[in-house]
Amino acid sequence: MDGVGFATVYLGGENVAPVAVITGASSGIGAATAIALGRHGFRIVVGARRVERLQRVAGEEGVALPLDVTEEESVREFVRQVTRRFGRIDVLVNNAGGALGLNPVAEAVDEEWIGMWKTNVLGLMWMTRACLPLLRKAKYGHIVNIGSIAGFEVYKGGAGYTAVKHAVRAITKTLRLELNGEPIRITEIAPGLVETEFSVVRFHGDHKAAKAVYEGLKPLSAEDVADCVVFVVTRPPHVDIDEIVVRPVAQANVTTVARKPTRARR
């Protein structure tokens, strides 16, 4: 179904584009999702701290607004702007998140854990709470939370990140119960290895360490995950895709990864 056709069905015959809000949209999965939804007829509103990058993602048709999900007032101002411009939200994609460090619990760095909780958990809660009144004004609403296989698997050194992604999974499932009976769908998309800036951030800018994560295999791309988002939000309104787990073929679980030998550099 093309964008205009989908918008017509989605809004019950009104020829108005549905509004999709995407957080953490300056790069990676968020940017790819915004672009993909824009191509499917959504009016996109993108938020992130790196506003200059957001402008390129939003293009001429979209709206780029500054957003730091770790600051509640920033979330409130972002939603106030969306309210003034549109008065409703049809789709909220809680994508902002990420990992910091890979230390065992015995060597945990407080600032890294606090940063992960604020970005992945509190930020998701603040955004969802602030956007729910606007989602309730739409004919059909949809919340898509970008989780991770770390939400149901664990690995050495990953306690901080797996803890927050387990929390995202719990929040998503709880929302499904709390919003049951309302025309608001809830979906979690849990990717495995996706080659984005994720590992660069995790290793505090160490590009060599980040590249090693993906060596010897073909990881998912941001566009692969964006395809999943497009799929779930374009189902008929009575269909809720509760969750999608998506990994590269080479990854059986978080630690079982088939890697091809790489040539030694001379």
Residues marked as catalytic: 161
Distance CA 176, CA 187 (A): 8
In angstroms and rounded to an integer, the radius of gyration of the C-alpha atoms of the chain is 18
Residue 104's φ and ψ, nearest 5 degrees, are -65, 165
Kind plus residue range of the DSSP H or E element containing 187: strand 184-191
Q: Would you say 195 and 152 are in contact if contact means Cβ atoms under 8 Å apart?
A: no
Question: What is the side-by-side strand order in the sheet with 184-191?
Answer: 63-66, 43-48, 19-23, 91-94, 141-146, 184-191, 243-246
**Count of CB atoms situated within 10 Å of the CB of 28:** 22
Amino acid making up residue 134: L
